[in-house]
């Protein structure tokens, strides 16, 4: 029943500030239906009545709606471009660049940023803002403990330099942790700070409706300094960058004009 989902969307919006209407409907509905069925409920209405009172179930709901997979140096070739060409360009404009990892999940992306930046400037000067809508992933990001598989794409020398190994777990060293500030932020509702020199936003806008995505590109553009760079995920090419005052700097990198 379409009204069942619509009603659920509006109750969730009132309760959490999260507007599910801005996420692709078929995909989101499927994920949430399979969750409530697994829990033994038969409609979104019934599901919400329980969610409203049960924080544990609310956490499971948030976990299901936010897709949290991430890894260090995800799509490693792109991080090489960032290292070899984008960061030198940014540093020549501003030696203290303001950097934002938006929808950072469990921290692999902002920590990768700090590791790459450390090749160009002292760690003591690096500051990365990292945000996500989900408190659970932010808590994990602050702990900084990872299973080996999340390091598959990371260069060996970086793993050696910046992680402490304990059995099959790897903990990010404190001097890297100190460079990243984690904060809760909803890309679809909260204000964007800035001006930034670099915004990294990867593998989240694919879950949003076209309208929501376009509005976020406009907001990223407004939050970047002229010459600042937006780095997107490897399935998230922007086909009409000029619409947002961007020009292509490299594949999946856009420069604010
Ligand atoms: C697939 S992960 C991407 C992680 C990382 N950027 C990467 O590419 O590896 C998507 C993240 O987007 C977050 N997210 C979903 N909706 C969001 C919103 N409205 N505002 C901020 N973050 C959101 C989720 O919590 C999740 O951690």
Q: What is the mean pLDDT of the chain?
A: 96
Tell me how far the alpha carbon of residue 92 lies from the centroid of ligand 1, in angstroms. Answer: 30
Q: List the residue whose alpha carbon is closest to atom 17 of ligand 1.
A: 133
Number of the ligand 1 atom closest to the C-alpha atom of 70: 9
Q: For atom 15 of ligand 1, which residue has the closest CA?
A: 66
Residue showing tokens 């921290």: 107
75: alpha, beta or left? (left if phi > 0; alpha if psi -120 to 50): left
- Ligand 1 centroid–CA 85 distance in Å is 26
Cβ(106) to ligand 1 under 6 A? no
**Distance between Cα 233 and ligand 1 center (Å):** 11
- Sheet holding 128-132: strands in order across? 180-184, 128-132, 99-102, 196-201, 224-232, 253-256, 246-250
CA gyration radius for the chain?
19
The per-residue pLDDT for 1 is: 73
Looking at domain 76-256, its CATH architecture is 3-Layer(aba) Sandwich (3.40)
pLDDT of amino acid 2: 80
Instruction: Give the alpha-carbon dihedral of 15, 21, 22, 26, to 10 degrees.
Output: 130
Quick one: which atom of ligand 1 is closest to the CA of 233? 8
116 lines ligand 1 (CB under 6 A): no
Reported as a pLDDT band with limits 50, 70 and 90, residue 128 is very high
Q: What is the pLDDT of residues 144-174, one digit of tens each?
A: 999 999 999 999 999 999 999 999 999 999 9
User: What's the CA gap between 252 and 106, in Å, rounded?
Assistant: 22
CB atoms within 10 A of CB 177: 18
Query: Any idea of the CA torsion for 32, 23, 60, 231, to the nearest 10 degrees?
Result: 140
End-to-end CA distance of the chain: 46
Pocket flag, ligand 1, residue 66 (CB < 6 Å): yes
Please tell me the predicted confidence (pLDDT) of residue 17: 94
Task: Calculate how far, in angstroms, residue 109's C-alpha sits from the geometric centre of ligand 1.
Answer: 11
pLDDT in tens, 8-60: 999 999 999 999 999 999 999 999 999 999 999 999 999 999 999 999 999 99
Nearest CA to ligand 1 atom 9: 70
Sequence ranges of the chain with CATH classification 3.40.50.150:
76-256
Answer yes or no: is pLDDT of 223 > 80. Answer: yes
Of 132, 139, 191, 236, the one to substitute when testing ligand 1's pocket (max ligand atoms within 8 A of C-beta) is 132
pLDDT of residue 49: 97
Q: Which residues contact 51 (CB under 8 A, 6 or more apart)?
A: 12, 57, 58, 61
Provide the token pair at 40. 């033994």
Q: How is 178-223 classified by DSSP, letter by letter?
A: TTEEEEE--TTTSPP---EEEEEE-SSGGGB-HHHHHHHHHHHHHH
Q: What is the pLDDT of residue 127?
A: 97
Is the minimum distance from the CB of 103 to ligand 1 under 6 angstroms? yes
Which backbone phi and psi does 132 adopt, to 5 degrees? -155, 160
**Averaged over 185-200, what is the pLDDT?**
97
> Given CA atoms 139, 193, 17, 187 in this order, what sign does their dihedral have?
negative
Pocket flag, ligand 1, residue 233 (CB < 6 Å): yes
Tell how far the Cα of 41 is from the centroid of ligand 1, in angstroms.
27
Residue of 204, 212, 252 with the most ligand 1 atoms within 8 Å of its CB, for mutation: 204
Backbone angles phi, psi at 211, to 5 degrees: -65, -45
Cα 162 to Cα 175: distance, rounded to the nearest angstrom: 8
Alpha-carbon 127 to chain mean position: 17
Residue to mutate, 17, 19, 62, 66, ligand 1, most ligand atoms under 8 Å from C-beta? 66
Query: CB of 225 within 8 A of CB of 251?
Result: no
Q: What is the mean pLDDT of residues 95-119?
A: 98
- Statement: residue 199 has pLDDT above 80: yes
């Amino acid at each position: 029943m379409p009204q069942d989902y619509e009603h659920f969307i509006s109750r969730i919006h009132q309760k959490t500030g999260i507007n599910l209407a801005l996420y692709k409907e078929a995909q989101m509905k499927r994920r949430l239906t399979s969750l409530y069925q697994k829990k033994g409920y038969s409609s979104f209405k019934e599901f919400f009545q329980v969610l409203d009172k049960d924080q544990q179930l609310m956490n499971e709901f948030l976990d299901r709606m936010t897709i949290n997979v991430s890894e260090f140096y995800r799509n490693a070739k792109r991080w090489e471009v960032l290292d070899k060409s984008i960061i030198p360009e940014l540093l020549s404009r501003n030696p203290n660049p303001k950097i934002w990892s938006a929808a950072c999940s469990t921290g692999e992306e902002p920590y990768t940023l700090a590791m790459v930046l450390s090749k160009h400037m002292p760690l003591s000067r690096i500051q990365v803002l990292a945000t996500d809508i989900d408190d659970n992933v932010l808590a994990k990001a602050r702990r900084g403990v990872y299973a080996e598989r999340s390091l598959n794409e990371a260069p060996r020398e970086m793993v050696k330099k910046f992680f402490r190994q304990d059995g099959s777990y790897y903990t990010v060293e404190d001097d890297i942790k100190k460079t990243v500030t984690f904060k809760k932020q909803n890309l679809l509702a909260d204000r964007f700070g800035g001006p930034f020199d670099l915004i990294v936003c990867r593998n989240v806008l694919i879950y949003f409706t076209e309208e929501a995505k376009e509005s976020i590109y406009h907001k990223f553009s407004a939050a970047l300094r002229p010459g600042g760079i937006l780095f997107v995920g490897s399935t998230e090419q922007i086909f009409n960058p000029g619409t947002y005052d961007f020009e292509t700097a490299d594949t999946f990198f856009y420069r604010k004009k």
